[in-house]
Amino acid sequence: MTRSITILGATGSVGASTLDLVRRNPADWRVTALTAHSNVEELAKLAREFGAETAVIADEARYEELKQALAGSDVEPAAGRAALCEAAARPVDIVMAAIVGCAGLGPVMAAIEQGTTIALANKEALVSAGEVMTAAVAKHGATLLPVDSEHNAIFQCLQGGRMEEVRTITLTASGGPLRLVEDLDAVTPEQAIAHPNWDMGAKISVDSATMFNKGLELIEAHHLFPVGLDRIRIVVHPQSVIHSMVEYRDGSTLAQLGPSDMRVPIASCLAWPARMDTPMAPLDLAEIGELTFFKPDEARFPATRLAREAAEAGGAAPAVLNAANEVAVAAFLAGKIKFSRIALMVESVLSENSLPPAPRTLEEVLRVDEDARMRANAIMETA
Ligand code: NDP
Ligand code: MG
Protein backbone atom coordinates (compact mmCIF):
# COMPACT_ATOMS: atom_id res chain seq x y z
CA MET A 1 0.00 0.00 0.00
CA THR A 2 1.38 3.44 -0.90
CA ARG A 3 1.86 5.76 2.07
CA SER A 4 2.33 9.52 2.05
CA ILE A 5 5.27 11.25 3.73
CA THR A 6 6.36 14.81 4.45
CA ILE A 7 10.02 15.46 5.27
CA LEU A 8 10.84 18.59 7.25
CA GLY A 9 14.56 19.27 6.80
CA ALA A 10 14.79 17.18 3.62
CA THR A 11 18.19 18.59 2.60
CA GLY A 12 19.95 17.58 5.83
CA SER A 13 21.67 14.42 6.95
CA VAL A 14 18.55 12.71 8.40
CA GLY A 15 16.50 14.02 5.46
CA ALA A 16 18.94 12.44 3.00
CA SER A 17 18.89 9.10 4.85
CA THR A 18 15.09 9.13 4.85
CA LEU A 19 14.92 9.91 1.14
CA ASP A 20 17.45 7.16 0.45
CA LEU A 21 15.01 4.64 1.95
CA VAL A 22 12.08 6.16 0.03
CA ARG A 23 14.13 5.99 -3.18
CA ARG A 24 14.77 2.27 -2.65
CA ASN A 25 11.06 1.56 -2.22
CA PRO A 26 9.38 3.95 -4.68
CA ALA A 27 6.13 1.99 -4.94
CA ASP A 28 5.60 2.27 -1.18
CA TRP A 29 5.76 6.06 -0.92
CA ARG A 30 4.18 9.26 -2.15
CA VAL A 31 6.05 12.43 -1.14
CA THR A 32 3.74 15.25 -0.06
CA ALA A 33 6.02 18.06 1.15
CA LEU A 34 9.78 18.60 1.35
CA THR A 35 11.31 21.54 3.23
CA ALA A 36 14.69 23.22 3.69
CA HIS A 37 16.10 26.38 5.20
CA SER A 38 18.19 27.96 2.44
CA ASN A 39 19.49 25.21 0.13
CA VAL A 40 17.18 25.99 -2.80
CA GLU A 41 19.13 24.00 -5.34
CA GLU A 42 19.05 20.72 -3.42
CA LEU A 43 15.45 21.22 -2.33
CA ALA A 44 14.28 21.78 -5.91
CA LYS A 45 16.29 18.81 -7.15
CA LEU A 46 14.76 16.51 -4.53
CA ALA A 47 11.24 17.84 -5.03
CA ARG A 48 11.48 17.15 -8.77
CA GLU A 49 13.02 13.72 -8.27
CA PHE A 50 10.36 12.59 -5.80
CA GLY A 51 7.43 14.42 -7.44
CA ALA A 52 6.57 16.26 -4.22
CA GLU A 53 3.29 18.19 -4.09
CA THR A 54 5.05 21.16 -2.52
CA ALA A 55 8.56 22.36 -1.65
CA VAL A 56 8.98 24.93 1.10
CA ILE A 57 12.02 27.08 1.73
CA ALA A 58 12.03 28.60 5.23
CA ASP A 59 14.08 31.61 4.17
CA GLU A 60 11.46 33.86 2.60
CA ALA A 61 14.07 35.83 0.65
CA ARG A 62 14.69 32.74 -1.50
CA TYR A 63 11.13 32.35 -2.78
CA GLU A 64 11.79 33.68 -6.29
CA GLU A 65 14.87 31.48 -6.60
CA LEU A 66 12.83 28.42 -5.61
CA LYS A 67 10.01 29.34 -7.98
CA GLN A 68 12.49 29.56 -10.85
CA ALA A 69 14.19 26.30 -9.89
CA LEU A 70 10.79 24.54 -9.97
CA ALA A 71 9.53 26.16 -13.16
CA GLY A 72 8.01 23.63 -15.54
CA SER A 73 7.44 21.05 -12.79
CA ASP A 74 4.21 20.23 -10.93
CA VAL A 75 5.79 21.08 -7.56
CA GLU A 76 4.16 24.02 -5.83
CA PRO A 77 6.79 26.41 -4.34
CA ALA A 78 6.26 28.12 -0.99
CA ALA A 79 8.40 30.09 1.48
CA GLY A 80 8.48 31.34 5.05
CA ARG A 81 7.70 30.06 8.50
CA ALA A 82 3.92 30.02 8.07
CA ALA A 83 4.28 27.98 4.86
CA LEU A 84 6.52 25.54 6.75
CA CYS A 85 3.79 25.00 9.35
CA GLU A 86 1.12 24.67 6.62
CA ALA A 87 3.23 22.03 4.88
CA ALA A 88 3.71 20.17 8.19
CA ALA A 89 -0.06 20.22 8.73
CA ARG A 90 -0.95 18.65 5.36
CA PRO A 91 -2.65 15.29 5.90
CA VAL A 92 -0.11 12.48 5.49
CA ASP A 93 0.60 9.04 6.93
CA ILE A 94 3.91 10.13 8.46
CA VAL A 95 5.90 13.33 8.98
CA MET A 96 9.68 13.05 9.34
CA ALA A 97 10.69 15.93 11.63
CA ALA A 98 14.36 16.47 10.75
CA ILE A 99 14.89 20.22 11.03
CA VAL A 100 17.81 21.06 13.32
CA GLY A 101 17.20 23.20 16.39
CA CYS A 102 14.24 24.87 18.04
CA ALA A 103 13.39 26.28 14.58
CA GLY A 104 11.65 22.96 13.99
CA LEU A 105 9.29 23.32 16.94
CA GLY A 106 6.50 25.28 15.19
CA PRO A 107 6.23 22.79 12.29
CA VAL A 108 6.36 19.77 14.65
CA MET A 109 3.53 21.25 16.74
CA ALA A 110 1.53 21.91 13.54
CA ALA A 111 1.88 18.22 12.62
CA ILE A 112 0.97 17.12 16.17
CA GLU A 113 -2.21 19.21 16.01
CA GLN A 114 -3.34 17.10 13.03
CA GLY A 115 -3.00 13.92 15.14
CA THR A 116 -0.38 12.67 12.69
CA THR A 117 2.29 10.01 13.18
CA ILE A 118 5.57 11.88 13.56
CA ALA A 119 9.03 10.37 13.29
CA LEU A 120 10.93 12.76 15.54
CA ALA A 121 14.62 13.39 14.89
CA ASN A 122 14.43 17.07 15.90
CA LYS A 123 15.30 16.52 19.58
CA GLU A 124 15.74 20.26 20.32
CA ALA A 125 11.99 20.75 19.73
CA LEU A 126 11.07 18.18 22.39
CA VAL A 127 13.76 19.41 24.81
CA SER A 128 12.48 23.00 24.54
CA ALA A 129 8.77 22.30 24.57
CA GLY A 130 8.77 19.25 26.88
CA GLU A 131 5.42 19.14 28.65
CA VAL A 132 3.79 21.46 26.10
CA MET A 133 4.59 19.00 23.33
CA THR A 134 3.71 15.83 25.22
CA ALA A 135 0.40 17.36 26.31
CA ALA A 136 -0.38 18.27 22.67
CA VAL A 137 0.48 14.73 21.56
CA ALA A 138 -2.00 13.33 24.11
CA LYS A 139 -4.67 15.92 23.31
CA HIS A 140 -4.59 15.40 19.55
CA GLY A 141 -3.96 11.65 19.59
CA ALA A 142 -0.70 12.04 17.64
CA THR A 143 1.99 9.34 17.66
CA LEU A 144 5.66 10.21 18.28
CA LEU A 145 8.14 7.64 16.98
CA PRO A 146 11.69 8.36 18.14
CA VAL A 147 14.27 8.52 15.34
CA ASP A 148 17.25 9.34 17.55
CA SER A 149 19.12 6.02 17.59
CA GLU A 150 19.20 5.72 21.40
CA HIS A 151 15.52 6.50 21.83
CA ASN A 152 14.60 4.30 18.94
CA ALA A 153 16.55 1.50 20.65
CA ILE A 154 14.70 2.09 23.94
CA PHE A 155 11.36 2.26 22.12
CA GLN A 156 12.12 -1.12 20.54
CA CYS A 157 13.26 -2.63 23.88
CA LEU A 158 10.00 -1.45 25.48
CA GLN A 159 7.77 -3.25 22.97
CA GLY A 160 5.78 -5.81 24.91
CA GLY A 161 7.16 -4.47 28.20
CA ARG A 162 5.46 -2.31 30.81
CA MET A 163 6.84 1.08 31.77
CA GLU A 164 6.09 0.44 35.47
CA GLU A 165 8.28 -2.67 35.34
CA VAL A 166 11.31 -0.78 34.04
CA ARG A 167 14.08 -0.42 36.61
CA THR A 168 16.52 1.67 34.56
CA ILE A 169 17.11 3.00 31.07
CA THR A 170 20.71 3.33 29.89
CA LEU A 171 21.59 5.69 27.07
CA THR A 172 24.85 4.81 25.38
CA ALA A 173 27.18 7.60 24.23
CA SER A 174 30.09 7.22 21.85
CA GLY A 175 31.96 9.89 23.82
CA GLY A 176 32.52 11.86 20.60
CA PRO A 177 35.74 12.63 18.76
CA LEU A 178 37.35 14.50 21.67
CA ARG A 179 37.03 11.92 24.44
CA LEU A 180 40.78 11.37 24.51
CA VAL A 181 41.90 14.84 23.35
CA GLU A 182 43.78 16.67 26.11
CA ASP A 183 43.64 20.34 25.17
CA LEU A 184 39.97 21.14 24.60
CA ASP A 185 40.78 24.85 24.17
CA ALA A 186 42.70 24.14 20.99
CA VAL A 187 39.93 22.12 19.31
CA THR A 188 38.93 23.47 15.87
CA PRO A 189 35.44 23.16 14.32
CA GLU A 190 36.86 20.63 11.82
CA GLN A 191 38.11 18.40 14.66
CA ALA A 192 34.84 18.70 16.56
CA ILE A 193 32.77 17.78 13.51
CA ALA A 194 34.82 14.70 12.61
CA HIS A 195 32.75 12.12 14.45
CA PRO A 196 34.38 8.68 14.68
CA ASN A 197 31.19 6.61 14.14
CA TRP A 198 28.38 8.72 12.70
CA ASP A 199 28.07 10.99 9.67
CA MET A 200 25.79 13.84 10.78
CA GLY A 201 24.98 17.53 10.40
CA ALA A 202 27.41 20.11 11.85
CA LYS A 203 25.34 21.12 14.89
CA ILE A 204 24.73 17.62 16.24
CA SER A 205 28.37 16.73 15.53
CA VAL A 206 29.54 19.57 17.80
CA ASP A 207 26.90 18.50 20.35
CA SER A 208 28.41 15.00 20.30
CA ALA A 209 31.86 16.45 20.90
CA THR A 210 30.71 18.55 23.90
CA MET A 211 28.37 15.76 25.14
CA PHE A 212 25.46 18.23 24.95
CA ASN A 213 23.97 15.76 22.49
CA LYS A 214 23.77 13.21 25.32
CA GLY A 215 22.47 15.92 27.65
CA LEU A 216 19.68 16.80 25.20
CA GLU A 217 19.01 13.08 24.78
CA LEU A 218 18.67 12.65 28.54
CA ILE A 219 15.92 15.30 28.55
CA GLU A 220 14.42 13.77 25.39
CA ALA A 221 14.32 10.32 27.07
CA HIS A 222 12.77 11.84 30.20
CA HIS A 223 9.81 13.08 28.11
CA LEU A 224 9.46 10.03 25.86
CA PHE A 225 9.86 7.39 28.58
CA PRO A 226 8.61 8.79 31.90
CA VAL A 227 10.34 6.39 34.31
CA GLY A 228 11.85 9.19 36.41
CA LEU A 229 15.10 11.04 35.77
CA ASP A 230 16.96 9.14 38.48
CA ARG A 231 16.37 5.91 36.53
CA ILE A 232 17.94 7.20 33.32
CA ARG A 233 21.68 6.51 33.10
CA ILE A 234 24.41 7.33 30.60
CA VAL A 235 27.31 5.04 29.75
CA VAL A 236 30.11 5.78 27.29
CA HIS A 237 30.40 3.02 24.69
CA PRO A 238 32.89 4.13 22.00
CA GLN A 239 31.96 1.46 19.41
CA SER A 240 28.30 2.67 19.15
CA VAL A 241 27.08 -0.89 18.55
CA ILE A 242 24.64 -1.05 21.46
CA HIS A 243 22.33 1.90 20.90
CA SER A 244 20.70 1.82 24.36
CA MET A 245 19.27 -0.57 26.96
CA VAL A 246 16.26 -1.15 29.16
CA GLU A 247 16.58 -3.03 32.44
CA TYR A 248 13.41 -4.61 33.87
CA ARG A 249 12.68 -5.28 37.55
CA ASP A 250 13.52 -8.98 37.25
CA GLY A 251 17.13 -8.12 36.29
CA SER A 252 16.71 -8.69 32.53
CA THR A 253 18.39 -6.04 30.40
CA LEU A 254 17.28 -5.73 26.77
CA ALA A 255 19.54 -3.93 24.30
CA GLN A 256 19.20 -2.98 20.65
CA LEU A 257 22.31 -3.40 18.50
CA GLY A 258 22.97 -2.27 14.97
CA PRO A 259 25.34 -0.54 12.59
CA SER A 260 26.00 3.18 13.14
CA ASP A 261 23.78 4.26 10.28
CA MET A 262 20.68 6.37 10.82
CA ARG A 263 18.86 4.44 8.11
CA VAL A 264 18.28 1.66 10.67
CA PRO A 265 16.29 3.70 13.24
CA ILE A 266 14.65 5.70 10.42
CA ALA A 267 13.51 2.45 8.76
CA SER A 268 12.16 1.25 12.09
CA CYS A 269 9.98 4.40 12.29
CA LEU A 270 8.91 4.37 8.63
CA ALA A 271 7.74 0.75 8.77
CA TRP A 272 6.51 0.72 12.38
CA PRO A 273 5.01 -1.52 13.69
CA ALA A 274 6.21 -3.71 10.80
CA ARG A 275 9.78 -3.95 9.47
CA MET A 276 11.32 -3.01 6.12
CA ASP A 277 14.50 -3.93 4.28
CA THR A 278 17.55 -1.66 4.50
CA PRO A 279 20.84 -1.96 2.58
CA MET A 280 22.78 -2.56 5.81
CA ALA A 281 25.28 -5.42 5.95
CA PRO A 282 24.57 -7.84 8.82
CA LEU A 283 26.21 -6.86 12.10
CA ASP A 284 29.45 -8.87 12.38
CA LEU A 285 30.23 -9.03 16.10
CA ALA A 286 33.25 -11.30 15.64
CA GLU A 287 34.70 -8.67 13.29
CA ILE A 288 33.96 -5.87 15.81
CA GLY A 289 35.62 -7.99 18.51
CA GLU A 290 35.25 -5.84 21.60
CA LEU A 291 32.53 -3.74 23.14
CA THR A 292 33.76 -1.43 25.90
CA PHE A 293 32.01 0.80 28.44
CA PHE A 294 33.12 3.77 30.57
CA LYS A 295 31.62 6.26 33.01
CA PRO A 296 31.09 9.72 31.46
CA ASP A 297 33.79 12.23 32.48
CA GLU A 298 31.63 15.13 33.69
CA ALA A 299 34.62 17.10 34.95
CA ARG A 300 35.89 17.52 31.37
CA PHE A 301 32.49 17.41 29.69
CA PRO A 302 29.97 19.09 32.04
CA ALA A 303 27.10 19.03 29.50
CA THR A 304 25.36 15.94 30.87
CA ARG A 305 25.46 17.36 34.40
CA LEU A 306 24.02 20.68 33.18
CA ALA A 307 21.28 18.88 31.26
CA ARG A 308 20.38 16.72 34.25
CA GLU A 309 20.18 19.82 36.46
CA ALA A 310 18.01 21.59 33.87
CA ALA A 311 15.72 18.55 33.62
CA GLU A 312 15.45 18.37 37.42
CA ALA A 313 14.66 22.10 37.60
CA GLY A 314 12.08 21.60 34.83
CA GLY A 315 9.91 24.52 33.67
CA ALA A 316 11.82 26.86 31.38
CA ALA A 317 15.29 25.49 32.22
CA PRO A 318 15.59 22.89 29.39
CA ALA A 319 14.47 25.46 26.77
CA VAL A 320 17.03 27.93 28.13
CA LEU A 321 19.77 25.29 28.08
CA ASN A 322 18.91 24.36 24.51
CA ALA A 323 18.77 27.96 23.24
CA ALA A 324 22.08 28.89 24.91
CA ASN A 325 23.69 25.80 23.44
CA GLU A 326 22.40 26.60 19.92
CA VAL A 327 23.88 30.11 20.14
CA ALA A 328 27.18 28.82 21.55
CA VAL A 329 27.53 26.08 18.91
CA ALA A 330 26.86 28.55 16.08
CA ALA A 331 29.46 30.92 17.58
CA PHE A 332 32.00 28.10 17.87
CA LEU A 333 31.39 27.00 14.26
CA ALA A 334 31.82 30.64 13.14
CA GLY A 335 35.18 30.79 14.93
CA LYS A 336 33.95 33.31 17.50
CA ILE A 337 34.45 31.29 20.69
CA LYS A 338 36.66 28.45 21.85
CA PHE A 339 35.30 24.94 22.19
CA SER A 340 35.48 24.91 26.00
CA ARG A 341 33.42 28.11 26.19
CA ILE A 342 30.32 26.34 24.83
CA ALA A 343 29.54 24.65 28.16
CA LEU A 344 30.63 27.73 30.16
CA MET A 345 28.23 29.91 28.17
CA VAL A 346 25.34 27.51 28.69
CA GLU A 347 26.12 27.35 32.39
CA SER A 348 26.17 31.12 32.76
CA VAL A 349 22.89 31.63 30.91
CA LEU A 350 21.31 28.96 33.12
CA SER A 351 22.77 30.32 36.33
CA GLU A 352 21.59 33.89 35.84
CA ASN A 353 18.97 33.53 38.52
CA SER A 354 16.16 34.89 36.43
CA LEU A 355 14.71 31.78 34.86
CA PRO A 356 11.32 32.68 33.39
CA PRO A 357 8.22 30.83 34.60
CA ALA A 358 7.38 27.44 33.07
CA PRO A 359 6.02 27.95 29.54
CA ARG A 360 2.51 26.56 29.02
CA THR A 361 1.96 27.25 25.32
CA LEU A 362 3.99 27.08 22.11
CA GLU A 363 4.19 30.88 22.05
CA GLU A 364 5.56 30.95 25.61
CA VAL A 365 8.21 28.33 24.74
CA LEU A 366 9.28 30.41 21.73
CA ARG A 367 9.51 33.50 23.93
CA VAL A 368 11.70 31.68 26.47
CA ASP A 369 13.87 30.46 23.58
CA GLU A 370 14.19 33.95 22.09
CA ASP A 371 14.98 35.54 25.44
CA ALA A 372 17.66 32.94 26.27
CA ARG A 373 19.25 33.52 22.85
CA MET A 374 19.44 37.23 23.59
CA ARG A 375 21.04 36.57 26.96
CA ALA A 376 23.53 34.12 25.45
CA ASN A 377 24.50 36.67 22.79
CA ALA A 378 24.87 39.38 25.44
CA ILE A 379 27.14 37.15 27.54
CA MET A 380 29.22 36.38 24.47
CA GLU A 381 29.67 40.05 23.63
CA THR A 382 30.63 41.12 27.14
CA ALA A 383 33.11 38.28 27.76
P1 NDP B 1 21.47 18.97 9.13
O2 NDP B 1 22.14 20.21 9.55
O3 NDP B 1 22.19 18.00 8.28
O4 NDP B 1 20.08 19.32 8.40
C5 NDP B 1 19.17 20.22 8.95
C6 NDP B 1 17.97 20.40 8.06
O7 NDP B 1 17.11 21.40 8.64
C8 NDP B 1 18.30 20.91 6.66
O9 NDP B 1 17.31 20.47 5.77
C10 NDP B 1 18.21 22.43 6.83
O11 NDP B 1 18.00 23.12 5.60
C12 NDP B 1 17.02 22.53 7.75
N13 NDP B 1 17.05 23.74 8.58
C14 NDP B 1 18.12 24.24 9.25
N15 NDP B 1 17.78 25.37 9.90
C16 NDP B 1 16.47 25.58 9.64
C17 NDP B 1 15.55 26.61 10.00
N18 NDP B 1 15.93 27.66 10.76
N19 NDP B 1 14.29 26.52 9.53
C20 NDP B 1 13.89 25.49 8.75
N21 NDP B 1 14.73 24.50 8.36
C22 NDP B 1 15.99 24.54 8.82
O23 NDP B 1 20.96 18.26 10.49
P24 NDP B 1 20.80 16.71 10.80
O25 NDP B 1 20.06 16.03 9.70
O26 NDP B 1 22.11 16.17 11.24
O27 NDP B 1 19.90 16.75 12.10
C28 NDP B 1 18.52 17.04 12.05
C29 NDP B 1 17.90 16.79 13.42
O30 NDP B 1 18.01 15.38 13.68
C31 NDP B 1 18.64 17.48 14.58
O32 NDP B 1 17.72 17.86 15.54
C33 NDP B 1 19.55 16.40 15.12
O34 NDP B 1 19.84 16.57 16.49
C35 NDP B 1 18.70 15.16 14.90
N36 NDP B 1 19.47 13.92 14.77
C37 NDP B 1 20.37 13.79 13.76
C38 NDP B 1 21.12 12.64 13.62
C39 NDP B 1 22.09 12.47 12.49
O40 NDP B 1 22.67 11.38 12.35
N41 NDP B 1 22.32 13.46 11.66
C42 NDP B 1 21.00 11.54 14.59
C43 NDP B 1 19.99 11.76 15.59
C44 NDP B 1 19.26 12.92 15.67
P45 NDP B 1 19.26 23.67 4.70
O46 NDP B 1 19.92 22.45 4.15
O47 NDP B 1 18.63 24.50 3.65
O48 NDP B 1 20.13 24.44 5.64
MG1 MG C 1 21.40 10.02 19.29
Concatenate the DSSP letters of all residues of 3-20 into one string: EEEEEETTTSHHHHHHHH
Q: What is the pLDDT of residue 21?
A: 98
Which listed ligand is nearest to 101 at the C-alpha?
1
Query: Is the CB of residue 15 below 6 angstroms from any atom belonging to ligand 1?
Result: yes
Atom of ligand 1 nearest to the CA of 15: 25
pLDDT digit string, tens, across residues 272-295: 999 999 999 999 999 999 999 999
Q: Which CATH superfamily is domain 3-146 in?
A: NAD(P)-binding Rossmann-like Domain (3.40.50.720)
Cα-Cα-Cα-Cα dihedral sign, residues 151, 157, 162, 166: negative
How close is the Cα of 148 to the center of ligand 2, in Å?
5
Q: Pocket of ligand 1, candidates 21, 100, 214: which has the most ligand atoms within 8 Å of its Cβ, to mutate?
A: 100
How close is the Cα of 112 to the center of ligand 2, in Å?
22
Q: Specify the 3-state DSSP secondary structure of 318.
A: helix
Q: What is the pLDDT of residue 353?
A: 67
Q: Pocket of ligand 1, candidates 19, 37, 108, 325: which has the most ligand atoms within 8 Å of its Cβ, to mutate?
A: 37
pLDDT digit string, tens, across residues 73-125: 999 999 999 999 999 999 999 999 999 999 999 999 999 999 999 999 999 99
The architecture in CATH of the region 314-383 reads Orthogonal Bundle (1.10)
* Domain ranges across the chain: 3-146, 150-302, 314-383
Q: Is 96 exposed, middle or buried (0-12, 13-18, 19+ CB in 10 A)?
A: buried
Which listed ligand is nearest to 150 at the C-alpha?
2
Q: Pocket of ligand 1, candidates 6, 13, 147: which has the most ligand atoms within 8 Å of its Cβ, to mutate?
A: 13
Which listed ligand is nearest to 42 at the C-alpha?
1
pLDDT digit string, tens, across residues 213-222: 999 999 999 9
Query: Is the CB of residue 322 below 6 angstroms from any atom belonging to ligand 1?
Result: no
Distances (CA, A) of 286 to 241, 282, 291: 12, 12, 11
How close is the Cα of 203 to the center of ligand 2, in Å?
13
pTM of the model: 0.98
Name, in order, each residue with C-beta under 8 angstroms of 372's C-beta and a sequence gap of 6 or more: 319, 320, 323, 324, 349
pLDDT digit string, tens, across residues 191-200: 999 877 888 9
Whose C-alpha lies nearest to ligand 1, atom 31?
A: 100
How close is the Cα of 14 to the center of ligand 1, in Å?
7
